[in-house]
Amino acid sequence: MNAVSRHKAKSSNTYWAAVRAFNAYLFALLMLVAAADAAERPVVLVLGDSLTAGYGLAPGKAFPAQLQAALAGNGIDAKVINGGVSGDTSAGGLARLDWLLGDKPDLVIVELGANDGLRGLDPDGTRDNLDRIIMRIRETGAHVLLAGMVAPPNLGSDYGERFNAIYPALAQKHGTAFYPFFLDGVAMDPVLNQQDGIHPTAEGVAMIVEKMLPVVIGGLAEAAK
């Protein structure tokens, strides 16, 4: 191989090495952009009971799924995780919280306590469980949206007053976002509830989402600061 040929071969090798280096750089850059985009997508965890899990509803009609769709309709590409377990109490939610926090949510909607009330559990215990749940969530840096519940009227006025006072008091104590009653506008309406009179229909869930959406968006805005 003469000098000219060697020079051309060397130049060609240098060119293709530069191309490979540029392609590797471009691939790494695209991966970084994709990772940044994924990191920027807010994550909402809904920690709850059957009202969250979607008892009696078709797939995609539970509260978390409808909330994710509503957020997308408002230009917010959020991932909403269904952390609902039918029959769960505030104690059950506390027991499984750490596992759910592994998804690193930016905002946690706490929808618990309805089963505590239905079972007539001591409101002091419910308050303590919810208090610990809120503190544990905030330790991770996530924001909290506390959804209130109302005690069944058959348990008497004294129980009702103690139970109903739990949620506003905790929201004030921790400075969390607060939605006073998760079933506002839906509870006791036979048109918006299933035959058991307790669990909302898909249309009932849609109303809950519509009414809660501004508070959820506000919570996400706070979490993004």
Sheet of strand 143-147, all strands in order from the earlier edge strand to the far edge: 79-84, 43-48, 107-111, 143-147, 177-179
First to last CA, the chain: 65
The amino acid sitting at 183 is L
The answer to whether 50 is a known catalytic residue is yes
Q: Please count the CA atoms within 13 angstroms of the CA of 187 that sit on its side-chain side.
A: 12
The answer to whether 157 is a known catalytic residue is no
Burial class (CB in 10 A: 0-12, 13-18, 19+), 62: buried
Active-site residue (options: 50, 88, 90, 143): 50
Q: What is the DSSP letter of 200?
A: B
186 φ/ψ angles, rounded to the nearest 5 degrees: -120, -40
Contact 159, 116 (CB under 8 A): no
The answer to whether 90 is a known catalytic residue is no
Using DSSP, state whether 60 is helix, strand or coil: coil
- Name the token pair of 181: 């009653």
Q: Which residues contact residue 8 at a Cβ distance below 8 angstroms, ignoring those fewer than 6 apart?
A: none
For the annotated catalytic residues, the residue numbers are: 50, 196, 199
